[in-house]
Amino acid sequence: MRAITKTFPGVKALQEVSLEVERGQVHAICGENGAGKSTLMKVLSGVYAAGSYDGEIHFEDKLCEFKDIKSSEAAGIVIIHQELALSPFLSIAENIFLGNELSTRGFVDWNKTNLEASKLLARVGLNDHPTTRVADLGVGKQQLVEIAKALSKQVKLLILDEPTAALNDGDSANLLKLIKHLQGQGITAIMISHKLNEIKAVADKVTIIRDGRTIETLDMHADEITEERIIKGMVGRELNNRYPEHTPRLGAELLRVEDWSVYHPVDQTRQVVKNVSFNVHAGEIVGIAGLMGAGRTELAMSVFGHAYGTRISGRVYKEGVEIQTNTVSAAIKHGIAYATEDRKHYGLNLLDNIMRNVSGAALSKLSRWGWVDSNKERLVADGYRKSMNIKAPNVASITGKLSGGNQQKVVLSKWMFANPDVLILDEPTRGIDVGAKYEIYTIINELADEGKGIVVISSELPELLGICDRIYTLAEGQITANVPREEATAEHLMQFMTQAKDQDAR
């Protein structure tokens, strides 16, 4: 791939990125969340059609212009997305040959389908019968089915987007072994991963991407490449004056969470949050740093009224007193608020206007006997529109038509109006331009100065370093460090974020 540039409205996702992968190698790509790794792979696999980006793709010395996934697959490039694309109620064999059915005169030849499928399953080391329903398999085995599906398409270059993100340790090790094994059969692989130990285990080369540019490509065999070396490439960004000054005035402890454990709502054997304890004081801004899949959002949403997960255990203390946060309304009543990372799906009613979104979490403050005082509501919402500098002609504007930054301000307004003591902000600046980010940081500081406890979840280390007084690092569902601002550096944090604590530590 040469000089790939891909722009989305308002953002340059990739700038002149080049990548060279040699036949028969395992090539890792790493970088922070949002660095552009997945976008690059989508360009390579034809998800973004030729013409929607600049630059050239050469595959086996030929210039390729893929119109769609089908044409890249015809060339032998198959991408396996992080979210598996299997149909759960079909059998393994049906999934493998979906869209590519083995048929004679329009009728599926089931004997041939199941026979071919079992041959492919043997290649990936899966013992299950091809007629097993995919829904009955664990995620690890489903991942193997995806790979078998790729093999059925005569894959030459296999792209794996964070293949182990959803797997437990045993399945991960298994998968890495398989990648090595396939390499022996002449299949080239590109693997996106956050986990540096995995990269060290299987990759021949690693390319680091940061802010939509290629930073460097390291040969894992040639030099002595340490994890620190890779981390430096991932975070090495200048910090300039993008954060407002702030001196914290700490008060008493507001919220303490102890021994918090959560299991995945579907796969109930997978522990997503493992014995996490943390606290936040009045006036304090606490950061939670973690890579994608570390369990940050899961932690926050489970504390906020058990809105995520099953088999939740642990204790929550508010100002030293144990409280129950079994439902969202109970959590809100106890003064906890959670502003989601996914505004569009969990934060806003995009069909409705600013006013009704702002008042949504605290209608009781505006109503008597179940009737809303709409004049008061309008005044409140208009007050936030002005003070938060929400760019919209009036509060009757539909939130679905606002920009990301302004939508985020509506979400913040909603929770400020609910007036909680503890505010958990999940990726408060995701998808927001630099100017609006500064405004949001200023608002966060003001809220802390009012004596609220703020928890900021973010995968952007510079952001956490810029605004937090204290930072916890979360890796694979466990807190791996609790670092005060003075001691925190990006390298230091990244080390804790990529390292997993020993499972049996307790």
401 contributes a contact to another protein by CB under 8 A: yes
328 contributes a contact to another protein by CB under 8 A: yes
266 contributes a contact to another protein by CB under 8 A: no
What's phi and psi for 121, nearest 5 deg?
-65, -35
374 contributes a contact to another protein by CB under 8 A: yes
Burial class, 86, CB count within 10 angstroms (exposed 0-12 / middle 13-18 / buried 19+)? buried
Residue 401 Cβ vs another protein, minimum distance, rounded to whole Å: 6
Cα–Cα distance for residue pair 171/165, rounded to 1 Å? 11
133-162 binders of another protein (CB under 8 A) = none
Among 307, 312, 323, 500, binds another protein (CB under 8 A): 307
Burial class, 51, CB count within 10 angstroms (exposed 0-12 / middle 13-18 / buried 19+)? exposed
Among 371, 435, 504, 505, binds another protein (CB under 8 A): 371
Among 263, 278, 304, 472, binds another protein (CB under 8 A): 304
312 contributes a contact to another protein by CB under 8 A: no
CB closer to another protein, 248 vs 383: 383
350 contributes a contact to another protein by CB under 8 A: yes
3-state secondary structure of 312: strand
Instruction: Considering only the stretches 100-108, 281-289, 376-384, 446-454, report the one whose residues sit in contact with another protein under the rule CB under 8 A.
Output: 376-384
Cα–Cα distance for residue pair 468/292, rounded to 1 Å? 20
Q: Strands 157-161 and 77-80, how do they pair?
A: parallel
351 contributes a contact to another protein by CB under 8 A: yes
Q: How many residues bind another protein (CB under 8 A)?
A: 40
Cα–Cα distance for residue pair 375/381, rounded to 1 Å? 10
Taking the CA atoms of the chain, what radius of gyration do you get in angstroms? 25
The four Cα atoms 340, 440, 212, 289 give a dihedral, to 10 degrees, of -60
Among 370, 486, 502, 506, binds another protein (CB under 8 A): 370
367 contributes a contact to another protein by CB under 8 A: yes
Binding pattern to another protein, positions 403-432, x when CB under 8 A? -----------x------------------
372 contributes a contact to another protein by CB under 8 A: yes
3-state secondary structure of 329: helix
The number of beta carbons lying within 10 Å of the beta carbon of residue 467 is 25
Residue 59 Cβ vs another protein, minimum distance, rounded to whole Å: 33
338 contributes a contact to another protein by CB under 8 A: yes
CB closer to another protein, 193 vs 399: 399
3-state secondary structure of 166: coil
Binding pattern to another protein, positions 3-42, x when CB under 8 A? ------x---------------------------------
Q: What residues have CB less than 8 Å from 275, skipping those under 6 apart?
A: 259, 260, 261, 314, 478, 506
Q: What residues have CB less than 8 Å from 11, skipping those under 6 apart?
A: none
Among 62, 221, 345, 506, binds another protein (CB under 8 A): 345
Instruction: Considering only the stretches 62-70, 192-200, 348-356, 460-468, report the one whose residues sit in contact with another protein under the rule CB under 8 A.
Output: 348-356
Cα–Cα distance for residue pair 53/398, rounded to 1 Å? 32
Give 77's Cβ-side CA count (13 Å radius): 24
185 contributes a contact to another protein by CB under 8 A: no
326 contributes a contact to another protein by CB under 8 A: no
The number of beta carbons lying within 10 Å of the beta carbon of residue 135 is 12
Alpha helix (H) residue ranges in 266-318: 296-303
Cα–Cα distance for residue pair 167/164, rounded to 1 Å? 5
Residue 136 Cβ vs another protein, minimum distance, rounded to whole Å: 22
Cα–Cα distance for residue pair 459/470, rounded to 1 Å? 15
435 contributes a contact to another protein by CB under 8 A: no
Measured in Å, how far apart are the chain's first and last C-alpha atoms?
Answer: 47
318 contributes a contact to another protein by CB under 8 A: no
387 contributes a contact to another protein by CB under 8 A: no
346 contributes a contact to another protein by CB under 8 A: yes
Residue type, 310: T
107 contributes a contact to another protein by CB under 8 A: no
By the criterion CB under 8 A, which residues form the site for another protein?
9, 304-305, 307, 327-329, 331-332, 338, 340, 345-352, 356, 359-361, 363-364, 367, 370-372, 374-375, 378-379, 382, 393-396, 401, 414
